[in-house]
Amino acid sequence: MSNTDRKKGLGAAARVTALASSVMDLHVRIALQEMDREKRRLISGGIFLATGGVLMFFALLGTELILGLWIKALFELEIKSTILILVFFNLVIAGMSLRIGGYLARGPYLPETLEGITKTTKAVLGRK
């Protein structure tokens, strides 16, 4: 292998390395932009999850006793039946709060990053 062939090989490797570095820089930059945009959604999801947990706790402490006594007196039920009704009600409300919070906390997705990588790959391969 001549000296000229080695220089061409090193030049091509340097170009590929620079291209890979450029793609990674682009990916990191876009990912940081996406993260800034998604912060609000992630924080909102966390707030809804925390709200669901706190509401479950307060529901069990505050209204359980009063509601339980009212249901027991109104329907003339045993204490076990009254507790079962209250548990079901709490699970429904908690499930709804956790579902909303989980939906908001999903992700994050990086469509701009995927689009940038696709464009770069097509440019490297010479396709349009």
Q: pLDDT by residue (tens digit) across 106-122?
A: 755 577 766 776 777 77
Structure tokens at 104: 């908001």
Give Cβ neighbours of residue 108 (< 8 Å, ≥ 6 apart).
Answer: 34, 35, 38, 41, 42
Q: Do the Cβ atoms of 51 and 97 come closer than 8 Å?
A: yes
Q: Do the Cβ atoms of 94 and 55 come closer than 8 Å?
A: yes
Question: DSSP 3-state assignment of 110?
Answer: coil
Mean pLDDT, consecutive 10-residue stretches, the chain (128 aa), reads 55 73 80 76 86 86 84 92 88 92 72 70 67
Distance between CA atoms of 91 and 96, rounded to whole angstroms? 8
**What pLDDT, on the 0 to 100 scale, is given for residue 74?**
93
pTM of the full structure: 0.41
Amino acid at the residue 118: T
